[in-house]
Amino acid sequence: MHLSKIKLPNLKDPKVSLSLLLQLSILLLSVVYPLLYPQQAHATVTEGFVRFDRLATGSTISGTACLKSTLTTQTKTEIVFPQGWTISSTVGNWTANTTGIVAQEKDPVGGGAAEAWPGIGNASAVSGLVVTFPTTAFTAGHYYCFNFSGTAASTVGAAGNDKTGELKTQGGAPYTDDMVFATSVVAAAADTITVSASVSATMTFSLNANSVALGTLSTGSVTSDPTGITQTVYTNARNGYTSWIKGTSATGGTGGGLHSTNANADITSPSSYPTVTDLTSATGVVIDTLAGGTNPPTLAAGYTGNGSSSGGHFDGGIFHQTATLTTPTGSSTVKYTLRAKIASTQAAASDYSDILTVTAAGSF
Amino acid sequence: MKIKHISIYIVIFFIVNYLLINQAFAGPSSGTYELKDYGFGSGGTVNSTSATYSLQGISGQVESASLSSSTYMMLPGLTYTLEPNTPPAPTITNPSNSYYNKLNISINNASNSTDTTFAIQIASNSADFSQNVFYVQSSSNTLGATPDWQTYTTWNSGSTFTLVGLSAGTTYYARVAAKRGTFQQGRWGAIASATTVNPSFTLSVRTTSQPSPPFSVFIGQLNAGTVTTSSDQVTTTITTNANSGGLIYLYGTNTGLKSPTAIAGGYTIPSANNDLSSGGILEGYGARGTSTSGAPMELLSPYNQSGDIVGIVDTTKREFADSSSSPVTGGQASFQLKAKSKTTTPPAGDYTDTITIVATGSF
């Protein structure tokens, strides 16, 4: 065969040129096609989940996504929400962060603490059911999480089981990590339980003793009950409590004091409520108070003595306030100390006595 | 040039090529028969052996083309004699029809010698292997783009191993080829297939006395210093084929049981991880897991304690039970709610919290 006999096509002929161009195009396409659509890589996701904060239909979409991968080339993350869910197409409605991830999330396999999803930020694109977030490269085998949130414009779809979606990361095209997940959507409010309890009003009142013996009274010094009687109040009344005291004997009018039946005489309580009397320069019987407990009350001025010789007036048949507390109390005490001093003309008798009544009420 | 002329040219181009190819490979024929394949030979030797070598040989042979029907294929000639035995279809399965991203597979060595290597070819959703063709990679049991020729031992000696990284809801077709030496690859064997399912997850919630929502649990009238336990339990049930199992979380709307009316600004009986029966804990509120059913289900700390030891219920989602990193069917976990007031806990009838249950599968 001689080359001179080979008939070369006339490239100046438009038909021939177009024919060659067409054949070359077909050849080029057949070579390049596989490169345009490379086969999907596999098995880079080790584990992961997408956990929604609410699983009731109609709830606003938010949640946490976690993933462990062997890939280290991530540049984007996509969440593909289940079919039928309402996804806001406004990019600005989708936010992402890693708040609380390290402290609260852990790898379900192995239990190690989760790490903040590298480079995660607010959404960069929304298309249909797909929301895209920026991401930077993972370290292989690390467990990463991030929180995502839509606004009220994005809501969970109808109730049903096996609602599938995808969590994908991209390290090139197409997406190279693809974890398909399933979730369950329950009826409205079927994911919540209302818990209730009640606390009733309470009040506890007690006196640690019910008798006081002052002994033989003196004209030259003040005699005080050495131990006193302590009132203790417990109450959960939101405004606390108030306590009062009254005598029984009426020594003329309402005046209280100690009465002797045998001598038919009285040792009166001097002055009147709320005046405090110092018995170093007076005679009679008075009541001094001292606050204590975990929640000491405020003592009434009329019974706030000096702790040694003074005290307040009490009346027979009339309650006078001794203390008050404006908050609930676990233990609030008032110690009552009786003090007495007699005049030189006081009739002698061994039966001077009175009955004091102490009461308290909670302010609920 | 008009489009019609281009089309005509293309048709003529392919017809000419077709005729040329058939002409080049057609065998001698008469009006009735055609000799599809033929060769010429003049004897040879069969099984000439020494202590070290053996020889099988012919002078001339049938060409390497073969005759086949839909069921059988004839492999004549020395070329095929030297090829390894073609492995039968591998066994590829989806146990319990629960795998969504993996399948089990095992191969048969077809009585080939131990130095024979095998490659496993996989096609997804392509029964004729015309597209989406991959090869099992022995280092990771994943699919890759290039054949991985490994010995029968490396392919687990015929025992089952698990292909991972597959796609959900996809049918995978598998076949095996053997190779003996560098240039003696046999043909791909028969095809087997299995299909991955889609991932699944179901959740349901109920209380002892309420099978359907709305759910409410009344702990009761709280008495100072006494732990009160709800008579109703909350039971959560999950089913999932997630590889790493199901996870159940709870969280509240408050940091405890809150009454908006007890005092100005409201009062909250706080929740914490506590033993409410301890004298040092004057008041508190929390949840205590009570039971599980479904083998892999387990209660998690701090909700897995006994007596009046409770786990915190606050606004943070806290995992209280899981399925031990395994798929589960009908796995249940239940919890009760407990509370204790102190003498100064303000009285009110509206101490409440709303607990939300969330669950997910770790796929």
Pick the CATH number of A203-344+351-362 from 2.40.160, 3.90.1690, 2.60.40, 1.10.3470: 2.60.40
Region B84-195: CATH code: 2.60.40.10
Identify all chain B residues contacting A54, using CB atoms and an 8 Å cutoff: 356, 358
Q: What is the pLDDT of residues A50-98, one digit of tens each?
A: 999 999 999 999 999 999 988 888 999 999 999 999 999 999 999 999 9
Is residue A8 scored above 70 in pLDDT?
no
- Measured CA to CA, the distance from residue A98 to residue A116 in angstroms comes to 6
Most confident of A3-17, A307-321, B35-49, B65-79: A307-321
Task: Decide whether A45-185 matches A203-344+351-362 in CATH topology.
Answer: yes
Helix, strand or coil for residue B359?
strand
pLDDT score, position B181: 76
pLDDT score, position B27: 60
Q: What is the mean pLDDT of residues A186-196?
A: 97
B203 in contact with A at a CB cutoff of 8 Å?
Answer: yes
B9 in contact with A at a CB cutoff of 8 Å?
Answer: yes
- Measured CA to CA, the distance from residue A289 to residue A337 in angstroms comes to 6
Q: What angle do CA B24, B26, B30 make, to 5 degrees?
A: 135
Q: Tell me yes or no: is domain A45-185 CATH 3.40.50.
A: no
Q: What is the pLDDT of residues B263-290, one digit of tens each?
A: 989 999 999 999 999 999 999 999 999 9
Q: How far is CA B361 from CA A51, A148, A296, A304, in A?
A: 8, 18, 55, 69
Is residue A9 scored above 60 in pLDDT?
no
Q: What is the pLDDT of residues B175-195, one digit of tens each?
A: 999 998 766 889 999 999 999
pLDDT score, position A139: 94
Q: What is the pLDDT of residues B23-35, one digit of tens each?
A: 544 566 777 776 6
B355 in contact with A at a CB cutoff of 8 Å?
Answer: yes
Is the peptide bond between B147 and the residue preceding it cis, with omega within 30 degrees of 0? no
Identify all chain B residues contacting A39, using CB atoms and an 8 Å cutoff: 132-134, 145
pLDDT score, position A186: 97
Share of chain B above pLDDT 90, in %: 72
Query: End-to-end distance of chain A based on CA atoms, in angstroms?
Result: 120
Q: What is the pLDDT of residues B94-149, one digit of tens each?
A: 998 999 999 999 999 999 999 999 999 999 999 999 999 999 999 989 999 999 99
pLDDT band for A45, please (50, 70, 90 cuts): confident
A108 in contact with B at a CB cutoff of 8 Å?
Answer: yes
Mean pLDDT of chain A: 89
Delimit the domains of chain B by residue range.
84-195, 201-361
Contacts with B, A 119-158, CB within 8 Å: none
Q: What is the pLDDT of residues A311-348, one digit of tens each?
A: 999 999 999 999 999 998 889 999 999 999 999 999 99
Is residue B59 scored above 80 in pLDDT?
no
Is residue A295 scored above 90 in pLDDT?
yes
CB B241 within 8 A of CB B102: no
Is residue A4 scored above 50 in pLDDT?
no
| Interface confidence (ipTM) of the complex | 0.75
A178 in contact with B at a CB cutoff of 8 Å?
Answer: yes
Is residue A3 scored above 50 in pLDDT?
no
- Measured CA to CA, the distance from residue B189 to residue B197 in angstroms comes to 26
Q: What is the pLDDT of residues A235-249, one digit of tens each?
A: 999 899 999 999 998
Delimit the domains of chain A by residue range.
45-185, 203-344+351-362
Is residue A2 scored above 50 in pLDDT?
no
Two tokens, residue A233? 């109040």
Chosen for mutation from B125, B161, B354, B360 (greatest number of chain A CBs closer than 10 Å) is: B360
pLDDT band for B13, please (50, 70, 90 cuts): low
Pick the CATH number of B201-361 from 1.10.3470, 2.60.40, 2.60.120, 3.30.2130: 2.60.40
Two tokens, residue B111? 């009585």
Q: Tell me which residue of B355, B323, B317 sits closest to B234, measured CA to CA.
A: B355
Give A196's strand partners: B218, B352
Two tokens, residue A278? 């110092």
Share of chain A above pLDDT 90, in %: 78
